[in-house]
Structure 1
Amino acid sequence: MSKTLHSGLRVLAVLSARGEGMTITEVAEAVGVHRTVAHRFLRTLEAHRLVRRDRAKRFHPGAGLVPLADPVERDLRAAALPLLEELADAVGATAHLVVQEDPEHVRALMVVEPRSASMHVAFRPGQLDLVDRGSAGLAILAAQPARPGERPEVRVAREQGYAVTYSEVIPSVHGISAPVPLRRDGAPLSVGVSVFDLAEQDRVAAAVLSTAAQLARVAG
């Protein structure tokens, strides 16, 4: 692995995760390199429009990242968007499509907020979480063969077809997710919602399961 490339990509990851501008010194500390090295990384990324500098000389993710991200699962995202919008509006909660990135992690590929709910959970696409924490990851694990030492919640999710968790990824928030039947050559997926109240768990779970099945049909 190229250590230089690794550190440069870490700069982009740190800037994206921060959500606000960072100074050269802050970037250097976050990545674990000397300030001079961080400056060289930032200047190179800036030349490719992958980062931008504001008037206060703080660095942000650049517009050059947009065309790089657009092709990622383009067909899947296009198929999923109307289904997630329908799910979010039907249950009055934020809906999400999550993909397994590696054996240990899942990443939010899409996040769709309800259009009429007075209050809902908000988080950004791209969020990375442990696969064995939160309903999205547990649903993905439930669609796979049982593993020694897996959480009891995975077995329950395998039996009922969907996973339910509370306050595991976002404090005081319930998650309900269902696996999307595996696509050919595709990474494992789950569809779910994040809700404050589980008073209507059966209705919400039915809507999530229906969305997962629909997405499997149109994007399989």
Structure 2
Amino acid sequence: MSGVGVLDKAVVILAACVDGASLAELVERTKLPRATAHRLAQALEIHRMLVRDTQGRWRPGPRLGELANAAPDVLLTAAEPLLAALRDATGESAQLYLRRADERICVAAAERASGLRDTVPVGSVLPMTAGSSAQILLAWEPPEAVMPLLPRSKFTGRTLAEVRRRGWAQSVAEREAGVASVSAPIRDRTGRVIASVSISGPIERLGRRPGERHAMAVVRAGQRLSGL
């Protein structure tokens, strides 16, 4: 808590409404007095930080997204030069991935200027069931978030346990025939994995054990992008 009472209570209210909340649910979840919870929810609704759904329950409002989209993305800004440096150090294309439900999205990339390369355009949507980046984005998730995907995955629970142990992942022809990759986690200030940084390229150049050559460079890039 910040010590600014009304602000702390407003943040608690917003968090309690992520999945929708009636007034009774707000009181139960926040432990605030009914009158206080009602007054703050109404004030947040006026500022469009909360809205009412068709059932009259409060949910996050559009103003939150507008404010977030107006701010520069610190991670993406920092990633651009680091991905270029990782590409230059390894000689392979470098990417940054975020998870969205059962998919992962390439949100930044630095491609080789010439030669045989594995191109993943920014905006590409890839599965969470194959590839070293998918392994990273799942390895530190709770079992209930991982188990539904494993029957469809090219990797196993044992693979994810090994990823957690060593701190990086590799794949060979897992997502696409002829392509190998190495990935490492990017963490927020609490240590939670929020993204993955990867390099990828043809197996004929990266080999069957790409992590042996490039894991440390990828891990260092992930560490430099963590905690922003």
Give the TM-score, by structure 1 length.
0.59
Higher alpha-carbon Rg: 2
- The residue aligned with 1:77 is 76
Q: Which runs of 5+ in 1 are unaligned?
A: 1-69
Deviations 1:98-122 (A, max 9, x none): 00112x111111121134x632211
Task: Quote the offset at 1:164 in angstroms.
Answer: 1.0
Match of residue 221, structure 2, among 206, 211, 218: 211
Whether the 8 Å CA contact 1:100–1:187 is kept in 2: the answer is no
- The residue aligned with 1:173 is 179
Task: Quote the offset at 1:200 in angstroms.
Answer: 5.6
| Equivalent residues in 2 for 1:21-170, closer than 5 Å | 74-102=73-101, 104-115=102-113, 118-146=115-143, 149=147, 150=150, 151=156, 152-170=158-176
The amino acid across from 2:178 in the alignment is S
Task: Quote the offset at 1:172 in angstroms.
Answer: 0.9
The farther-off stretch of 88-97 and 73-82 is: 73-82
In the superposition, relative to structure 1, how do residues 81 and 96 fare at CA in structure 2: closer, same or farther (>3 Å)? same
Whether the 8 Å CA contact 2:170–2:210 is kept in 1: the answer is no
User: Counterparts of 1:208 and 1:169 in 2: how far apart (Å)?
Assistant: 19
Equivalenced residue count is: 147
Whether the 8 Å CA contact 2:170–2:180 is kept in 1: the answer is yes
Quote the sequence identity (%): 25
Task: Quote the offset at 1:181 in angstroms.
Answer: 1.4
Deviations 1:69-111 (A, max 9, x none): x969632211001100000111000000000112x11111112
User: Counterparts of 1:154 and 1:200 in 2: how far apart (Å)?
Assistant: 17
Whether the 8 Å CA contact 2:106–2:123 is kept in 1: the answer is yes
What SS does the corresponding residue of 2:215 show, helix, strand or coil? helix
User: Counterparts of 1:100 and 1:87 in 2: how far apart (Å)?
Assistant: 21
Cα RMSD after superposing both structures:
2.6
User: Counterparts of 1:140 and 1:179 in 2: how far apart (Å)?
Assistant: 7
Task: Quote the offset at 1:179 in angstroms.
Answer: 1.0
The amino acid across from 1:178 in the alignment is A
What SS does the corresponding residue of 2:226 show, helix, strand or coil? helix
